[in-house]
Structure 1
Amino acid sequence: MNAADEILDIVDENDRVTGQAPRGEAYARGLRHRCVFIQAKDASGRIFVHRRTATKLVFPSLYDMFVGGVVGAGESYDDAALREAEEELGVTGLPRPAFLFKFLYANGSGQSWWSAVYEVRCALPVRPQVEEVAWHDFLSDEELSARLGEWEWVPDGLAAWERLRAHRG
């Protein structure tokens, strides 16, 4: 199935389902939907960072410090977090990501999506999806902080990162 054809739950400002639509239509019409953001760390505590492929529907070729994606119609945030983390990292048997918080992301152009943030420890060797990930590495907090002003980051991931840092104090 083409990613644009994937069916998503459409939700209101309180994250209640109001309908369903294909992903491509949800993006084109600015329909509010659900996403998950998972911060994956290796056994040493370094953060998985990657550059998205040029073929991604949203934010192609930008860097991200989260793996994740949209929540499918009828899918829970928790199930989507595990599915997306395993898919993007290219692993199976990952521990269930731990839910941290949820926020409504707005991009300033009238589009918004509910965003659930998770974390997971991935001690397994990663084999990221070539369709999703053009480059990847595990970076220390210091290395990631140094790249924040150098690389172009996905805006929703950057918003989740800032909220995560505030959440951790």
Structure 2
Amino acid sequence: MTELLTVYDQNFNKIGAEERAKVHTLGLWHAVVHCWVVSKREDGVWLWFQKRAHSKNAFPDYYDTAVGGHISAGETPQQALLRETGEELGLQLQPEQVELLGMTKEKEVFPESPFPDREFCFVYLYENPTPQFAPGEEVDDMIRIRLATFKGKELHELRQIPALSLSSGPLTLQPEMFCRHPGEFLHLILPKLEEET
């Protein structure tokens, strides 16, 4: 079955629907969801990231927000988020467990990407000290990074990023191993978490 995505103009006005492949090939504006999973524990505040499957067409083996996916035509952002969270992480969440923090507009064309990507992204937060992940086929691993460490990466260009993998334990990552979502962490996630502490 062909997946249809709602297409927008650059001001987020709906202008129709197109097949997902065409949306990407032509670089049309469309909508996606991201969910940042945060664990507040005795040993600090941790951010979770997924390692994208090696089989993915775009950014295989990169580290990305815990959940990310397209909003299908006729679907609300929250419906898409809950569906994607189940598919990617095996978490069956309820609407009241996630919080919408805002929307970002991404129009960068990255050299690593096989297509121009123009997205309106609805950014959500899910907090759980011990999430029980059961990753689906699109996710090869889940890692966690201390909030202070990721803040150093974003603000101070930290080059060596210590992390903990669910499958293999401690590892060190470099900034270029992450998908880039300009401003998302600094403008939405960090202010929210600092407000709570």
Identify whether the pair has TM-score above 0.5, normalized to the shorter chain. yes
CA deviation string 1:12-60 (max 9, x = no partner): 1222221111111111110110011111123634221121112223222
Q: Distance in 2 between matches of 1:154 and 1:107?
A: 12
Partner of 1:98: 99
Of 111, 117, 140, 1:134 maps to 140
By relative contact order (CA 8 Å, sep 6+), the higher-ranking structure is 1
Q: Distance in 2 between matches of 1:15 and 1:96?
A: 27
Partner of 1:24: 21
Shift of 1:93: 3.7
Shift of 1:61: 1.5
Q: Is 2:132 the counterpart of 1:125?
A: yes
Greater gyration radius: 2
Distance change in 2, residues 1:166/1:13 (3 Å): farther
Of 178, 183, 186, 1:153 maps to 178
Give the total of aligned pairs: 164
CA deviation string 1:106-129 (max 9, x = no partner): 114764110111101244411111
Partner of 2:186: 162
Shift of 1:165: 4.7
**SS of structure 2 residue aligned to 1:155:** coil
**Richer in strand (by share):** 2
Shift of 1:166: 6.0
Scaled by the length of structure 2, what TM-score is found?
Answer: 0.72
CA deviation string 1:129-157 (max 9, x = no partner): 1x21112123321343466631411123x
Q: Distance in 1 between matches of 2:4 and 2:191?
A: 31
Scaled by the length of structure 1, what TM-score is found?
Answer: 0.82
CA deviation string 1:74-108 (max 9, x = no partner): 11112112222222211224454100011211114
**SS of structure 1 residue aligned to 2:148:** helix
Root mean square deviation, CA, Å: 2.4
Unaligned runs of 5+ in 2: 111-115, 160-173
